Structure 1
Amino acid sequence: MSQTRPSSDGSHGKWHLLHANVGISAMHMQLMHDNKVVIFDRTDFGPSNISLPGGRCRMDPNDAALKIDCTAHSILYDIITDTYRPLMVQTDTWCSSGAVLPNGTLVQTGGFHDGDNVTRMYTPCSNDICDWVEFPNYLSRRRWYATNQILPDGRIIIIGGRREFSYEFFPHLSPRRRTFHLRFLTQTREGSVENNLYPYVHLLPDGNLFIFANTRSILFDYNQNRVVREFPRIPGGDPRNYPSTGSSVLLPLDENEHRIAPEVLVCGGAPRGAYQQALRRTYARAISTCGRLRITDDQNASWVMETMPIPRVMGDMLLLPTGDVIIINGGQSGTAGWELGRQAATRPVIYRPSIPSDQRFSVMTPSRRPRMYHSAAILLTDGRVLVGGGNPHIYYNFSNVFYPTDLSLETFSPPYLSTQYASIRPVILSVDDTVSPGQSFLLSFSVGEFSAESVLSVRIVAPSFTTHSYSMNQRMVVLRTDEIIDNDKSSYTLSVVGPSSAEIAPPGYYLLFVVHSGIPSSGVWVRIQ
């Protein structure tokens, strides 16, 4: 394992503080296609540190903390101008979920108390007056700690929730049957504490869903409400979902392969019983293993285990433009829950899935800010990682605690953004903003130093909805390239083929990157039709 010391030249990444106080703690985050980030917290803990504009207030006679609240619990952060403005959310979004529709609208579902059956929508606009629109009682069941996944037909499936062992769709299939029981969620529930909350859900190229809960995982046909296959339990016997809270990603799908065999990666978490131990002020060492499962047509799929250089619970896992995975935030002992985490894991780790197993992990430069329970991270357009949040307290608490509430936003720049790579960093000059499945399109880019032997790829990334250490809906597809044309003045044109099916890449907005010799361009938005 690589555990080299951090350096000042960016070879182990760099941190940059954007804002020390944006008014709220970033519990949930989603990057939108207008280069703005929707961020929100919860409404039931009292006032935030940012006021609603124009004298607006939220009236909630059932709120236990504050029945008249004139502060915001959601903001919109503009990554281009580095500014933010408050948004108005009426109902409680605590521990909710979300996904982006093909038209670019964020659909946000569930929450706590008055928000548990609510669907909310945010649609980007150009005049800075757009805000949340809420639809009370749209959900048929209480969706608190549920998971969302966009589907090939543009619908969203909403799975699970606290004491909810079912799934439903947005929009609803029919007014008659809106909820479908999922026995797997009942089977994987472990007592009243170590629940299978925020199950890991990944859409696979065959159109089925991979669903992971605690130690078990299935291949699920949601159209027929049928378990197609159950995979072996992840070795070790320790639960990986909330409150044990590891994380998971679907590794990049490569359209250049003759037959795609998707791989799922699950990393970190807390050992069995860690929650009860933490309640007694004994903080168990976090899990240091990752499990990698290659899903093939035969019945021989098995987990391959690897060891991280840093044990981690509550860590966020994000796909980087290079196809590598960054593991960021969280702690080295304890578990998720109020005040139950210890030993902040301030050093990000980058996992490179395509190199030999003993070289895959690299330890990055540490942040000065611990990000524990209720923190979040997302990938930005230029390849940086936006990091925020951290509030392991029932209310905002800034003093006399191990980890004060954090209202800041910062970015981590992975090593590929170092200036030493400027000469080989590609710059996208032009590309069609709409891409049709299976159809060729042209992409022009420039690069200072290029040779025919350079490894070149084009990738699309679906931005994630991130909360509670799980980034829903993120996926990367490596597109097939046909030919490259050498233009004048270090510019080139590529013929690229759009994703082969909606199962590979559901319709919607994606960030497109050109990666040259391991160094990515900034991303540009394309819409998969």
Structure 2
Amino acid sequence: MNSTLIIFLLYLLLIATPPCSLIASAASNWTLLHSNIGITAMHMQLLPNDRVVIYDRTDFGASNLSLANGECRIDSHDYVLKRDCTAHSIEYDVASNSFRPLMVQTDIWCSSGALMPDGSLLQTGGFNDGDHVVRVFKSCDTCDWVEITSALVKRRWYATNHILPGGRQIVIGGRRQYNYEFYPKLSKSEKAYSLPFLVQTNDPKLENNLYPFVFLTPDGKLFIFANNRAILFDYARNKVLKAYPEIPGGDPRNYPSTGSAVLLPMRIVQGKVAVVEVLVCGGAPKGAFVNAENGRFDKALKTCGRIQVSDPNPQWVMETMPLARVMGDMLLLPNSDVLIINGGSAGTAGWEYGRDPVLYPVIYKPDNPFEDRFEAQVPTTIPRMYHSTALLIRDGRVLVGGSNPHIYYNFTDVLYPTELRLEAFLPPYLDPRCVRSRPKITPDSQTEFGYGNRVVIRFRVVDELDPDSVMVTMVAPAFNTHSFSMNQRLLILEGGNTTKAIGKTKYQVIVTAPPSSNIAPGRHYLLFVVHRQVPSEGVWVKIG
């Protein structure tokens, strides 16, 4: 049976389902937010005021959005325009569905970042004159980028950042950088530290371990996946604690083979996280990049590997997606599902090297039986190829933008034109038929708390409440670029089964805050009440 027929049958099955009955048959949807935001969304970060910083790169040439007040960027190092009066970054306001241009001076192409404890975006590196630069964006109605030159010890291009328990960021790898460093620096003399694992996983003919997948584990260590292997790393002692088996098949999963990965939702029980699992999905097979350079576009990988990081003898368990996918994004949804979205089904990442867009998102349900975890969703009409992005926002929608498979802004005479449209994917829990099951958190709920604190959350539900189906989740807003959402994590808080009525349609649940900064680094999170797998709108909370 060919892939087109399989997709068609999956869609027929989807639209033939009966009306919603407590989420089981709910349908996803799409909405177009803007037909032209002026730039292509290569990087995105949600801020705690419900605004999203979006940016591409500065040496594409002129964008479709002018800078404010007749400003121009003057950069003698730029390869395309020395004087550029167009924007390459915007701030998107979710509430008003509006955006404004921002000024970024140095090249931020293929950079990295993380949300800091004070709610600002700290962004690191890039290309050309931007590779040693740190940039800070503190959001307000008139705020703009602040750039700190020569702030990094090493050039960082295709690196990965992670926020640490103490509030600093670790910046790992990058092109021809087999090391890591921290920011902010503790002193002017603080150096970068060698990480031989990045040498060991590097193909000498092709760097295929860029944008490594990095996750902070509950014991304060880092799980680092690069190419086709992973380690548990003690960054404080610069020591590898454990080497994990090679993922079965041995195919590379990082840029430019570009699969994606998530740290699966972590459930806190009696103050601990007993099971810590990572899921890695999609990518391109060995040799795909070289083949694409020669005009041959290999079929993308259809497999996912799931591993218990916390297991004394960890082994990969392989699963098969309904659709092959390279350059896909994996996002944690507030009800603990995993969304797989964007990308193509052939080729690899890189200019002109991707083929056959995958228009159908897939939802992965980690707690379902092994043979019943993937669900195909309603398709988009917009190809999202190389340099596309996806981001969870507070109301439960997923913001989707970008796709620029070309060196410059090319809108005609190319296979996949540069994409300036911004759209939103609505997961099944936003089906209007399920609105009565959707909780609404009330303003008398706690939004700031310390580690291990008792936290009182109050909410309303129109339908009769099923107390056994209530859980409270905390989601860390991620920095998304190149098919990886840095710093993404979801915690299921202890105490969701304590829900009780405190009025007509009003309820209270008392949960326990995460016990340590290893499990939840001090910063802003989105907190959701989930009822019958339908999450509320999130509320911003801060822990630390």
Relative to the length of structure 2, the TM-score reads: 0.95
Residues 194 and 244 of structure 1 are in contact (CA less than 8 Å); yes or no, is this contact kept in structure 2? no
Aligned twin of 1:39 = 54
Amino acid at match of 1:174: S
| 1:424-443 alpha-carbon deviations (Å, 9 max, x no partner) | 11110132221211000211
SS in 1 for 2:441: strand
Aligned twin of 1:521 = 536
Aligned twin of 2:63 = 48
| 1:180-236 alpha-carbon deviations (Å, 9 max, x no partner) | 010100110012324210000000000000000001100000000000000001001
- 2:488 counterpart of 1:480: no
CA distance in 2, matches of 1:345, 1:213: 24
CA distance in 1, matches of 2:436, 2:27: 19
SS in 2 for 1:445: strand
- 2:428 counterpart of 1:420: no
State the Cα distance separating 1:449 from its structure 2 match.
Answer: 1.8
CA distance in 2, matches of 1:259, 1:118: 37
Aligned twin of 1:377 = 390
After TM superposition, list the pairs within 5 Å mapping 1:279-318 onto structure 2.
Answer: 279-296=293-310, 298=312, 300-318=313-331
State the Cα distance separating 1:453 from its structure 2 match.
Answer: 4.8
Aligned twin of 1:198 = 211
CA distance in 2, matches of 1:348, 1:26: 19
Tell me which of 10, 15, 35 is aligned to 1:3: 10
Tell me which of 150, 169, 172 is aligned to 2:182: 169
CA distance in 2, matches of 1:404, 1:422: 37
After TM superposition, list the pairs within 5 Å mapping 1:333-482 onto structure 2.
Answer: 333-430=346-443, 431-481=445-495
State the Cα distance separating 1:295 from its structure 2 match.
Answer: 1.7
- Is the alpha carbon distance of 1:487 and 1:157 closer, same or farther for their aligned partners in structure 2, counting shifts above 3 Å? same
Tell me which of 289, 295, 311 is aligned to 1:275: 289
| 1:295-343 alpha-carbon deviations (Å, 9 max, x no partner) | 2252x10000000000000000000011010000000000000000000
Which sections of structure 2, spanning at least 5 residues, go unmatched?
Answer: 1-5, 20-24
State the Cα distance separating 1:176 from its structure 2 match.
Answer: 2.4
CA distance in 2, matches of 1:330, 1:259: 32
SS in 1 for 2:511: strand
- Aligned sequence identity (%): 55
Residues 394 and 538 of structure 2 are in contact (CA less than 8 Å); yes or no, is this contact kept in structure 1? yes
Amino acid at match of 1:517: R
Aligned twin of 1:83 = 98
State the Cα distance separating 1:282 from its structure 2 match.
Answer: 0.6
CA distance in 2, matches of 1:384, 1:177: 41
Name the stretch that deviates more: 473-482 or 497-506: 473-482
Residues 161 and 486 of structure 2 are in contact (CA less than 8 Å); yes or no, is this contact kept in structure 1? yes
State the Cα distance separating 1:7 from its structure 2 match.
Answer: 2.8
SS in 2 for 1:3: helix
Tell me which of 274, 284, 297 is aligned to 1:260: 274
CA distance in 2, matches of 1:471, 1:45: 24
Residues 163 and 170 of structure 2 are in contact (CA less than 8 Å); yes or no, is this contact kept in structure 1? yes
Amino acid at match of 2:286: R
SS in 1 for 2:289: helix
What's the RMSD between the two structures over aligned residues? 1.4
- Is the alpha carbon distance of 1:488 and 1:192 closer, same or farther for their aligned partners in structure 2, counting shifts above 3 Å? same
State the Cα distance separating 1:387 from its structure 2 match.
Answer: 0.2
State the Cα distance separating 1:169 from its structure 2 match.
Answer: 0.4
Amino acid at match of 1:239: P
Task: Kindly tell me the number of residue pairs found equivalent between the two proteins.
Answer: 526
| 1:111-132 alpha-carbon deviations (Å, 9 max, x no partner) | 000000000000122xx11000
SS in 2 for 1:196: coil
Which sections of structure 1, spanning at least 5 residues, go unmatched?
Answer: none
User: Stretches of 4+ moved more than 4 A in 1?
Assistant: none
Aligned twin of 1:239 = 252
Relative to the length of structure 1, the TM-score reads: 0.97
After TM superposition, list the pairs within 5 Å mapping 1:7-22 onto structure 2.
Answer: 7=15, 11-22=26-37
